[in-house]
Amino acid sequence: MKLGIRSQLSLFSLLLMLVVGSFAGLFLEHQRRNSIEQQIEQELSHYAAAARELVAESKAETVLQFDSLADRLGQATTSRITIIALDGRVLGDSNLTLNEVAAVENHGQRPEVLEALLHGKGIYRRYSTTIETEMLYVAIPFGAPKILGTVRTAKPLAEVDHAISELRLTLIFTGILALLLAILLSGLASHLLTGTLRKLIRHAKSLPAGSSSASDDIELLAGSFNHLAEELESHITELRRMERDQRQFIANASHELRTPVAVIRANAETLLDGAIKDEVMGPKLLQALDRNAGRLTLILADLLDLARIDAKQTHLEVTNLHLPEYVTRAVETLEALAQQRAIKININLEQTSSLRADPQALQQILLNLIENAIKYAPPAGSVEIKSQRQADRMLITVKDSGPGIPESCRKKVFQRFYRVDNGRSREVGGTGLGLSIVKALVEAMQGEVGVEAVEPTGALFWVSLPVS
Ligand code: ADP
């Protein structure tokens, strides 16, 4: 069974209180016991000192006299007083009758007595076999200058136990009170805390209010934060990738623009320097200038298209379109180019081919793919345009009999400025941006694009878009 955070917190504070409370109780008990015992010891020392004086002054000689003196002293001090002769004989004891005194065993070997005779004072705590209880004894010698014996005072330690059990009772009572208060407070605190936690979890998971039913809030919170961290990490990776791509793109674009701009400047300068009057060089330089200006225009137009698609400024209006119309129009536009290169174009479309796309975007896609096919096919080669419905998708293919695209380059040809063969691309007037525009447009319309190889040679570009 898993406990919720509130129960966990309450249980924890309860355990903490019990542990702290028990230790504090044990410590207090120990302190208290020590201090009471010390107090009793001091009391007994004072009584013993007073008793010594009285015994010495009493001039008692018989057991009867000593015992009655012990009885009186015992009564006055509410402690047990024993008077012991130097040879260990008990002369009097406040707790024993005269007969008992006569029969009691020799006390000469009692440790406190030995200690008193040896060092002037003996303090011992032990079980008294005579009166059968735990006692504290303090003994000191009497008689001066000649020592005649010892007086011993004693008190039962039951007094200490009594004080300790009273202390225990107080501790238990206040402990229970503190516990009740703690339960109340921790309940309140955990209620407030889990409220905040739940709010946090909801934020982290973006869940609607009340939908969290986790049994372990902390685990849930940790899970949410892990999820958040993973999401952040993937966002950061994506951002880094985008940043890298952008840098690469800017470097490529500058590189692409530099050549035509350099040619234009150089030619213009040469013309201004007088070449304009040269009948052979003049027109040649001007033609090159015009060619490069045209190239610059093409690159800028493509870059602008891409920038608009990227910034989602190109508003795509997806509607139901009849594919054959668009293919026919694209082929007509490119007819002159095809004728120039003696390329034969075959069109093989499903007559019901209608799909969902933006008219201008579809036109641009078809123009780019068909133009590439015509440009890269060998002179007198062939291009085939087909359409085929596949479930809820319309598959459009443009196939040529050109060199095709090596497998390692098939993904890269859709990248900006990527060319399989730089020289050939420039020769046919390519900007290296056509296919990246196709890809951006197709994807903006929930479509897919790809390229495959054709046997024995050639490329097959395909586009799939939703059918209407
Ligand atoms: P470009 O303007 O250079 O044609 P694209 O983006 O249209 O630029 O094409 C990128 C590159 O893909 C081209 O440089 C060329 O190397 C290759 N490519 C595109 N279409 C074909 C094709 N039909 N046959 C062979 N290679 C092609």
The residue ranges of every structural domain in the chain are 11-162, 217-313, 319-466
Name the residue of 295, 385, 419 to mutate for ligand 1: max ligand atoms within 8 A of Cβ. 419
Q: Per-residue confidence of the chain (468 residues) as pLDDT tens digits?
A: 566 666 777 788 778 878 888 888 888 888 888 888 899 999 999 999 999 999 988 888 899 999 999 999 999 999 999 999 999 999 999 999 999 999 999 999 999 999 999 999 999 998 887 778 889 999 999 987 889 999 999 998 887 888 888 888 888 888 888 888 877 887 787 777 777 777 776 766 665 555 555 556 667 777 888 888 898 998 899 999 989 988 888 888 998 899 899 999 999 999 999 988 999 999 999 999 999 999 999 999 999 998 888 888 778 999 999 999 999 999 999 999 999 999 999 999 988 889 999 999 999 999 999 999 999 999 999 999 999 999 999 999 999 999 999 999 999 999 999 988 877 777 777 888 999 999 999 999 999 999 999 989 999 999 999 998
Model pLDDT, residue 41: 92
430 lines ligand 1 (CB under 6 A): yes
Using a cut of 0.85, tell me whether the model's pTM lies above it: no
Measured between alpha carbons, how far is 207 from 302 in angstroms, rounded to an integer? 44
Q: Phi and psi of 82, rounded to 5°?
A: -125, 135
420 lines ligand 1 (CB under 6 A): yes
Measured between alpha carbons, how far is 310 from 250 in angstroms, rounded to an integer? 14
Residue 14, classified by CB atoms within 10 Å of its CB into exposed (0-12), middle (13-18) or buried (19+), is: middle
372 lines ligand 1 (CB under 6 A): yes
318 lines ligand 1 (CB under 6 A): no
Model pLDDT, residue 205: 66
401 lines ligand 1 (CB under 6 A): no
Q: Phi and psi of 319, rounded to 5°?
A: -135, 180
Model pLDDT, residue 208: 53
Measured between alpha carbons, how far is 416 from 299 in angstroms, rounded to an integer? 11
Supply 213's token pair: 């039913």
Supply 262's token pair: 């350099």
CATH H-level, domain 11-162: superfamily: PAS domain (3.30.450.20)
CATH 1.10.287.70 fits 217-313, yes or no: no
Name the residue of 345, 364, 413 to mutate for ligand 1: max ligand atoms within 8 A of Cβ. 413
Distance 419 CA to ligand 1 centre (A): 6
Measured between alpha carbons, how far is 383 from 371 in angstroms, rounded to an integer? 10
Model pLDDT, residue 239: 92
Question: Which residues lie below 8 Å from residue 436, measured CB to CB, with a gap of 6+?
Answer: 306, 414, 415, 416, 417, 418
Q: Whose CA is nearest to atom 25 of ligand 1?
A: 404
Measured between alpha carbons, how far is 142 from 390 in angstroms, rounded to an integer? 124
The number of the ligand 1 atom at minimal distance from the alpha carbon of 429 is 2
Model pLDDT, residue 268: 93
431 lines ligand 1 (CB under 6 A): yes
Measured between alpha carbons, how far is 248 from 264 in angstroms, rounded to an integer? 25
405 lines ligand 1 (CB under 6 A): yes
Which fold is adopted by the domain 319-466?
Answer: Heat Shock Protein 90 (3.30.565)
Residue 94, classified by CB atoms within 10 Å of its CB into exposed (0-12), middle (13-18) or buried (19+), is: buried
Model pLDDT, residue 155: 92
Model pLDDT, residue 118: 93
Closest CA to 76 of 100, 94, 49: 94
